[in-house]
A and B are shown apart, each in its own frame.
Chain A
Amino acid sequence: MLLWLILILLGLSFIIYFFQVLALRKKLSEEIPNSFTQPISIIKPLKGLDDNLFDNIESFCKQDYPEYEVILSLENRNDPAYRVAEKIRNKYPDRVTIVIDNSSKALNPKVKNMMKAYRISKYDYFLISDSNVCVEDDYLRKTVSSMTEDVGLVTNLIVGVGGKSFGAVLENLQLNSFIILSVCLLDKFLKMPCSIGKSMLMRKKDFEEIGGFNAVQDVLAEDYLIGKLMHEKGKKVVLSNYMIKNINEYWSIKRFFNRHTRWAKIRWKIGGVKYFTEPLANPVFIASLIPLFYAFSNLSLILLLLSVLIKTTGDYLVMRMIKEKPGIQIMFSPIKDLMSGIIWFVPFITSKVNWRGNLYLISENTVLMPVTDSSLKRTYLKLKTIFSH
């Protein structure tokens, strides 16, 4: 009975995977013939050293675009990214401004970092861009081309590149299979607004109408909330098929776990019961349950190996579709899927997240609560939150 249940789930899982790949294919074939080129303020919040940081930032200074500015925002000069920011500003003095500000009380460190940069930005359109992404010189032109009157937010697909350590290889495999496929499925078939914080283009007027940064300052998933608020306001959230590169070169496995447990916790706090459907997007993990619950018989091992083979071939094709060379690293895809399956359970154990050196507890809709040293105080704050509702 249990075997049949797992087999049904496995079949369902491959059907979902098929639709995910189809969604990606449809997304990549979209064409946007718009020549909109309004001036843009690019805001890049910096904290700490990302792999390839210099090139990442410089790629935004070399855009083939008529008028734009790049604002690099940091909390303080002691941040190691400040030296890189300074070098970039020296190289592109007319294009780049550095903003140092730590005065905001926002709990979300990224939002806190961007508030002043937003205030001093010159143009009516602004683009939030993370420090760990690298783009080609046509990025701005192609991303902005998706912005029309009825659009409130344009976001981009992300692909992971540059894996040189095992952790980084796992990270890029996860981005280039589970993440990109899930985002495309939500966008193309489930018609759910999907905004990715790594690249978000908005009109200031729309942003301020949904409450601006004040509306999202105390949540962890500010990108999700901005997209949701835009959608509720009646504005379209567009996922551009222009792919930006997330450079992950020297990640440790711990860092991979840290990012994906954090993202899993976000999905759990946002999605609620919908989160329970997520393992269906992981056929390898479901197939691994067969030998686990039904002993290591020949049949169960054949089913597992067959699932691994189909999924790995699928991931290989997905990599080809997004123009990434899969190489030998694709062999780690099943390991990544198994780890991803284990990570899925973590949000049920803890709501604590570590993000760029800050420790938080997250509650519903990813509302943040800073973790203090005293567990007594933490309990008090938890109780206070419960009773205040």
Chain B
Amino acid sequence: MLLCDFHIHTKYSDGSLELKKVVDLFGQAGFDVIAITDHVVNGDSLIGKLAYKFRFTITEKNFNEYLENIEYEAQRAWNKYEMLVIPGVEISKNYLSSDKSAHILILDIKNFIPACGSYESIFLEAKKQNALVVACHPHHMKGEIRNTLYLWKNKQKYGKYIDAWEIANRDDVFNVVSLKKYPYIANSDFHKARHLYSWKTLLNCEKDKETIKTCIKHNKGVAITLFRR
């Protein structure tokens, strides 16, 4: 089984470690697949504007550099650790109300997708790029003042666009996802070194991007594990 984490932040947004350090941290711990998913924040709200001010977001301007650096690190990680590194982003639509906010992982992204567009436009653009769409932390999280509940509350409308839902994020488990029998993955939502020890996904498939995306979409050979030191 491949040990995977598809939700990882670096200093490109609000993570505390440089991309290289993050790749090494996961490589040194024996991971098989990781996805780098820094935030792309909507600029049409107060929270979004602050994210732009403090550079906690990928922008259209630095997106290519971001992808190039991930590509470089992916090559290094493969040569050294045989670890696959997938480029991604976390589209972060942040509003004061939890009911209006949503975060979406776009895995294997090729071109920049702005976060201020409509949900449909984001999903369709992701599909056009043959990227994987994951609804992250879709339900209430312990200790969070602001949750991201929009997609769960509108699952009838948007469910068809979503390839998988995060069933576990860092230390939280969302049993509602399993009750609905949705395809699932589990991730760390890595921001700090200690987040390495958290929920992870195990995949029973070959170690290449397309097979991994298919495995997650079809939800066959997927398991979750609580990774501990």
Q: Which residues of A contact B (CB under 8 A)?
A: 48-49, 51-55, 80-84, 86-87, 90-91, 164-165, 249-250, 252
Contact = CB atoms under 8 A, between A and B. Distances in A.
A201 B51 CA distance: 55
Interface in B1-31: 3, 27-31
B81 A54 contact: yes
A52 B28 contact: yes
Given A80-B228, A80-B229, A250-B194, A51 B82 contact: no
Contacts of B193: 164-165, 249-250
B227 interface: yes
Given A80-B228, A84-B29, 4 more contacts: A49-B29, A83-B3, A87-B30, A250-B194
Interface of B: 3, 27-32, 80-82, 193-194, 227-229
Contacts of B28: 51-55, 84
Nearest to B30: A83
17 contacts: A49-B30, A53-B30, A54-B27, A54-B28, A54-B80, A54-B81, A80-B228, A80-B229, A81-B30, A83-B3, A83-B29, A84-B29, A84-B30, A87-B82, A164-B193, A165-B193, A249-B193
Nearest to B16: A164
Which of B80, B81, B194, B229 has most chain A Cβ within 10 Å? B229
Question: Which interface residue of B3, B28, B194 has the most chain A CB atoms within 10 A?
Answer: B28
A91 B194 CA distance: 28
Given A87-B81, A250-B193, A48 B29 contact: no
A83 B202 CA distance: 13
A339 to B, nearest CB: 21
Contact of A80 (B30, B81, B82, B194): B30
A164 B193 CA distance: 10
What are the nearest 5 A-B pairs in CB distance? A83-B30, A84-B30, A54-B28, A250-B193, A48-B229
A54 B30 contact: yes
A52 B3 CA distance: 18
Contacts of A51: 28
B82 A53 contact: no
A54 B32 CA distance: 13
Nearest to A83: B30
B216 to A, nearest CB: 20
A203 to B, nearest CB: 33
A87 B29 CA distance: 10
A80 B197 CA distance: 11
A323 to B, nearest CB: 23
B154 to A, nearest CB: 38
A91 B30 CA distance: 13
Interface centre among A55, A82, A83 (most CB of B within 10 A): A83
A213 B74 CA distance: 44
